[in-house]
Chain A
Amino acid sequence: MFSKHVTKELSAYCHGEVANDQSRQIAEHLIGCNRCRRQFEEIKLGVKLAEHLPQISAPDSLWPNLQASLAAETRTNENAARQPAPFSFKVWQPSFAGVAAGLLIVAAFAGLWLYLRESRPFWEVARLNGAPRIGSSRMEEKGRLAVGQWLETDGDSRAQIEVGSIGQVEIDPNTRVRLVETKPTEHRLELAQGKMSARIWAPPHLFFVDTPAGVAADLGCAYTLEVNDQGIGLLHVTSGWVALQLKDRESMVPAGATCATQPGIGPGTPYFDDASENFRQALAKLDFGYAVDIPDLYSPLEVVLAESRPRDTLTLWHLLARVEGNDRTRVYERAAALVPPPDGVTREGVLQLDEQMLELWKERLETTW
């Protein structure tokens, strides 16, 4: 771990003004250092605010005024010295001047268009297998994915994307991704269909993946994300944390856990991969109403509660805000029996979804996740 504090380098880091190695060291430090991370959040906000600073158009009167000043200066110089001014206007033939001005303007716009096209931010892409496509072109060994462009793989091809200096994303076969945004304060990819694996060594909330059923926000982690042809997503986290969100519904998914997400509904309740089959089936019915193989005698919630272990308080903690009335009370009682809430967290507070108490209890529960 890079032990020296990095507060002085944070603006340069946000602007991509540090070397790749240093950028990685800073990112690693930020993951582990609360003090620097707080500063980073502040600097990042300052950067985002400053990005709203508009350029202001000069008034139309500026050029005529300038011409008048130049003419006056030229006259003064001529009268004083009877010699040519350092910069004197030549006699212009209107038709020639008009044509020349027109050509210059056309050339200027063509140059500007070409420049903007070429200067769009991009990510480096490497071909791993087969023939991935960027836009309408087949990729060579290396390629560039510019903002707005799609990268597509067929059944035989795979590719790897360098996410600036903060991570890598591997694109599996039959996948479509688009680079939505890449700037120091936000890198965003859209996964329309297929599967991708991401490894990100940046501070939280810098890398996002949009899917038809929610946004995956990286919290310093490694994960895989799949989207099927109906837009249903499945997130599996292998290291760190990922937040999966659609509107107000959010699931926090730690390493070793999985979370499904559906268009129009949003993220389901996260669960650990080693939870029992009955537990997972009942949760799928509870979240999305899937027809599953559990005895009609029991409600899905009863199965989830009965099958839960201390580690499954991850699921129960999320369920607290997603069920109501008596069901919430039952979830609370089961979770409290597995891992009692710490001092300062009351039954009434939790049942009323007091945010501070829920966070305090979560900190205790996390020791089992």
Chain B
Amino acid sequence: MEQRPVMVEPIVDERVIEACQAGDREAFRLLFETYKDRVFSIAVYSFSGDETAASDVCQQIFLKLLTSIGQFRGDSAFTTWLYRLVVNACIDEQRKRRRFLPFGESTPMSSIAERKPEEKHYAKVEIADSVQAAIKQLRPKLRMAILLKYVEDLSYEEIASVLGCSKGTVASRLNRGHQVLARKLVHLRNEVE
């Protein structure tokens, strides 16, 4: 699985969204290309590294986006609207899967790391692997706050809007998430500082 540093790509503007609403396929392709990795990342982390599940839910998200983009009125930022869709789709899918899976069963996150064993030589990749594994163990509410902050680079206000909670709650979830990560991965202190 290819991993790369988080990068914000603000190339979707009002015109692109309006074109999508008018049924412009190329505009939708542009929107898809802009957000596919970020949406996929959230899905992968939400499903503990299960890429098949993440691909399925991504497809559902973009189909839903396409069919409902006409309802987007610009009351909030487009990204807020999109990530609400992503978060809700991930939660719904997790609920469905929980009915069929024994508790806790999922593809181990470590499978991501196992796909490119040669990269294990690099300290950064090892840190990233450890962080991914620790993220998997976070409570869903803490995990989603961390993902929206670090994968999507959203502000506290944007995260609050996506999750439908207050900025204080976002701060509190991030605080708790950071503490859990630090305690689980304290042995990596020298590597990251």
Given contacts A17-B171, A57-B1, A66-B63, contact A52 B192 (CB under 8 A): yes
The interface residues of chain A lying within 8 Å CB-to-CB of B32 are 63, 66
Q: How far is the CB of B184 from chain A (nearest CB, A)?
A: 9
B144 interfacial by beta-carbon distance below 8 Å: no
B residues with a Cβ closer than 8 A to A are 1-11, 23, 25-27, 29-30, 32-34, 36-41, 44-45, 51, 55, 58-59, 62-63, 66-67, 70, 112, 124, 127-128, 130-132, 134-135, 146-147, 149-151, 155-156, 167, 171-172, 174-175, 177-183, 185-186, 188-189, 192-193
Other A-B pairs beyond A8-B175, A17-B171, 5, CB < 8 Å: A53-B6, A58-B39, A86-B67, A108-B9, A115-B9
CB-contacts of A4-23 with B (<8 A): 7-12, 14-15, 17
B156 contacts A45, C-beta separation under 8 Å: no
Given contacts A55-B41, A61-B55, contact A45 B182 (CB under 8 A): yes
Q: How many A-B residue pairs have CB under 8 A?
A: 172
The closest CB in chain B to the CB of A84 belongs to: B23
How long is the Cα–Cα vector from A97 to B39 in the complex, in angstroms? 26
How long is the Cα–Cα vector from A45 to B131 in the complex, in angstroms? 12
A101 interfacial by beta-carbon distance below 8 Å: yes
Given contacts A8-B175, A46-B181, A87-B23, contact A55 B7 (CB under 8 A): yes
Q: How far is the CB of A61 from chain B (nearest CB, A)?
A: 7
The interface residues of chain B lying within 8 Å CB-to-CB of A63 are 29, 32, 36
CB-contacts of A238-252 with B (<8 A): none
A65 contacts B55, C-beta separation under 8 Å: yes
Of the listed stretches A88-96, A265-273, A319-327, name the one at the interface; the rest are far from the partner chain.
Answer: A88-96
A62 contacts B181, C-beta separation under 8 Å: no
Would you call the interface of chain A mostly helix, strand, loop, or mixed? helix
A residues with a Cβ closer than 8 A to B are 7-12, 14-15, 17, 42-43, 45-59, 61-63, 65-66, 69-70, 73, 86-90, 92, 97, 100-101, 104, 107-108, 111-112, 115-116, 119
The interface residues of chain A lying within 8 Å CB-to-CB of B37 are 55-58
B40 contacts A57, C-beta separation under 8 Å: yes
The interface residues of chain A lying within 8 Å CB-to-CB of B70 are 86
Given contacts A46-B179, A53-B128, A108-B34, contact A69 B3 (CB under 8 A): no
A10 contacts B40, C-beta separation under 8 Å: no
The closest CB in chain B to the CB of A104 belongs to: B30
How long is the Cα–Cα vector from A63 to B34 in the complex, in angstroms? 12
The interface residues of chain B lying within 8 Å CB-to-CB of A14 are 178
B62 contacts A49, C-beta separation under 8 Å: no
B177 contacts A54, C-beta separation under 8 Å: no
A17 contacts B26, C-beta separation under 8 Å: no
B182 contacts A62, C-beta separation under 8 Å: no
The interface residues of chain A lying within 8 Å CB-to-CB of B3 are 54-57
A53 contacts B151, C-beta separation under 8 Å: yes
Q: How far is the CB of A22 from chain B (nearest CB, A)?
A: 12
Among candidates B5, B33, B134, residue contacting A55 with C-beta atoms closer than 8 Å: B5
Given contacts A66-B62, A90-B25, contact A11 B178 (CB under 8 A): yes
The closest CB in chain B to the CB of A88 belongs to: B23
The interface residues of chain A lying within 8 Å CB-to-CB of B10 are 111-112, 115
B151 contacts A55, C-beta separation under 8 Å: yes
The interface residues of chain B lying within 8 Å CB-to-CB of A61 are 55
Among candidates A49, A59, A88, residue contacting B188 with C-beta atoms closer than 8 Å: A49
Q: How far is the CB of A63 from chain B (nearest CB, A)?
A: 7
The interface residues of chain A lying within 8 Å CB-to-CB of B128 are 52-54
A45 contacts B186, C-beta separation under 8 Å: yes
How long is the Cα–Cα vector from A7 to B174 in the complex, in angstroms? 12
The interface residues of chain A lying within 8 Å CB-to-CB of B23 are 87-88, 90
Most buried by A among B10, B135, B167: B10
Among candidates A56, A86, A115, residue contacting B2 with C-beta atoms closer than 8 Å: A56
B192 contacts A10, C-beta separation under 8 Å: no
B58 contacts A58, C-beta separation under 8 Å: yes
The closest CB in chain B to the CB of A97 belongs to: B26
Given contacts A11-B174, A52-B128, contact A45 B55 (CB under 8 A): no
Among candidates B67, B127, B156, B186, residue contacting A12 with C-beta atoms closer than 8 Å: B156
